[in-house]
Structure 1
């Protein structure tokens, strides 16, 4: 794990000239290229989701390998640079990539296109009962785990801390390292964003008594006003073990993204394969329970790939995404 100051620094990119493994070859189905799905580090739902999609595509005769990464920003760079790369991406990070903000290394990503919605990412804080922490303002001056360096969790922790008028010491690492760090005393609290209930938080709570809370409605209002890709969300009691009150936080959707140069027929075929299963939780995996075509309207950040857009037209789904420049 790494400890750093509150200030964000540019994201890591792929090494120059790096090519996704398998991305240049033809898959089992000769009509479609082999794909590389960039996900995240060990313990992340992105990895679970990528593996589930690769298995589904394999049943359709399309080869897809699952590649580890540091998360959304590196995935977006992989997709930007390689025609046959797919990526799991948080829309907040996609916004940074499209705009070329410092969080995205100052590089405007112009080739990234949306395919289909994955699930909503909601952000929460977990702390051990022994810490005495029960509210966001109490994180002032504390060591807070925020996942991979320069990832979306860190970006939105910075925004929430600024909105709350506090300063935190950020501790970086993989989701698995975050859980171990909280349990082992390497941090005072763990801030995570993922599908709810967040697996790394559940794992920590299963091993030690703890509490889960959010930034609170006032901070959420400030953050969502500043960052329009986020929206308020409320987690009902019982979302986490021992939770008796609602948790007020913010969230945004994650999407599978592709390069605009991915063949249109391939983009159409894989989007259709994913979004026409009878029961996503059963036929893909529990992590994909909310992967449904109607949720495509939640993307207001990225243009859709023409192949995916064709599927939504046929399905009668209205989209709110920007048009390609």
Structure 2
């Protein structure tokens, strides 16, 4: 009976034989979002017969370096870091990564603003000269806000701090608005909307187009009405996606098996991790900068998903 079960599992997971050796799964360190996602992914893949070994790291750039040099490795990566690696940016060691390929989406981090409804603030342009909380100093959220502000042609006063503390500061009237990015609904903005009369807004179509020109790895994101209390209209903004990547030399059946297994969960929030809400085949086109591995591309073609990035 056990042999029949294994044969059936292998039939359902093409490339299983090639994936018997443990695949290194590079994530990040304790306290990161990548580590629990990777641990959950490893458990989910194990249920399909694919063995992975979770490796802790310093994050995206180290993961990309590990995958670049190992055909039996996969890693979690922020697409902004992927862009730097493809370009050979200084923070990527000045080395152009040519061997990395996209496998499947993890989750998106969307960015938007909360402000008191009575303030009259409704657009990024309205934030000129205003005190705007933007997360930890020199962090990703601040960097993306400065791009949004530059696109809108304004100079706000950036206030740094922990998102939860900044939300409290907004509720007390100590700052004028709060810009944040996270999986939607963003906890800090939910706190503000639940405890006050607030408005949530993002970018105009023109601002979004220019921001994406400056940040090619960003994707367009629309937050549905009702996501936050009192939100009656959709919010247009940009989002930064995270993907699992592999090496171009990984055998095609193995890349296919990994992609198919990872995206097989009926509810990835349960099967993998609560943050894995975006781990679905339909979100693969969010990657428009990194070529997909041919094995992954074959799976998406079977699902009728049209990819935005060039084929691997």
Structure 1 pair 43–247 and aligned structure 2 pair: CA distance change class (3 A): farther
Structure 1 counterpart of 2:163, from 178, 202, 205 = 178
Q: Secondary structure at 2:200's aligned position in 1?
A: strand
Structure 1 counterpart of 2:133, from 132, 135, 144 = 144
Structure 1 pair 236–311 and aligned structure 2 pair: CA distance change class (3 A): closer
- CA drift of 1:81 comes to 5.2
Q: Distance in 2 between matches of 1:266 and 1:53?
A: 16
Q: Answer yes or no: is the 8 Å Cα contact 1:83–1:262 preserved in 2.
A: yes
Structure 1 pair 85–187 and aligned structure 2 pair: CA distance change class (3 A): farther
Q: Distance in 1 between matches of 2:185 and 2:223?
A: 9
Gaps of 5+ in 1: 1-28
- CA drift of 1:56 comes to 0.6
Moved more, 298-307 or 279-288: 279-288
1:238 aligns with 226
Structure 1 counterpart of 2:25, from 36, 43, 61 = 36
Work out the number of aligned pairs and report it. 290
Cα distance per residue 1:49-69 (max 9 Å; x no partner): 334312212323523426464
Q: Secondary structure at 2:203's aligned position in 1?
A: coil
Q: Secondary structure at 1:270's aligned position in 2?
A: helix
Q: Secondary structure at 2:106's aligned position in 1?
A: strand
For residues 1-325 of structure 1, what are the structure 2 equivalents within 5 Å? 31-39=20-28, 42=31, 44=33, 46=34, 49-61=37-49, 62-65=51-54, 67=56, 69=58, 72-73=60-61, 75-80=63-68, 85-101=73-89, 104=92, 106-127=94-115, 135-141=123-129, 142-146=131-135, 149=138, 151=140, 153-168=141-156, 177-183=162-168, 189-203=177-191, 205=193, 210-251=198-239, 253-262=241-250, 264-313=252-301, 315=303, 317-323=305-311
Cα distance per residue 1:59-85 (max 9 Å; x no partner): 235234264645x45543454455555
1:24 aligns with none
- CA drift of 1:248 comes to 2.6
- CA drift of 1:243 comes to 2.0
Moved more, 88-97 or 179-188: 179-188
Greater Rg, structure 1 or structure 2?
A: 2
Q: Answer yes or no: is the 8 Å Cα contact 1:58–1:64 preserved in 2.
A: no
Moved more, 314-323 or 192-201: 314-323
Gaps of 5+ in 2: 1-17
RMSD of the TM alignment (CA)? 3.9
Q: Secondary structure at 1:109's aligned position in 2?
A: coil
| TM-score, normalisation: structure 2 | 0.71
Cα distance per residue 1:163-187 (max 9 Å; x no partner): 11123465667xxx33234435797
Q: Secondary structure at 2:155's aligned position in 1?
A: coil
Q: Answer yes or no: is the 8 Å Cα contact 1:145–1:187 preserved in 2.
A: no
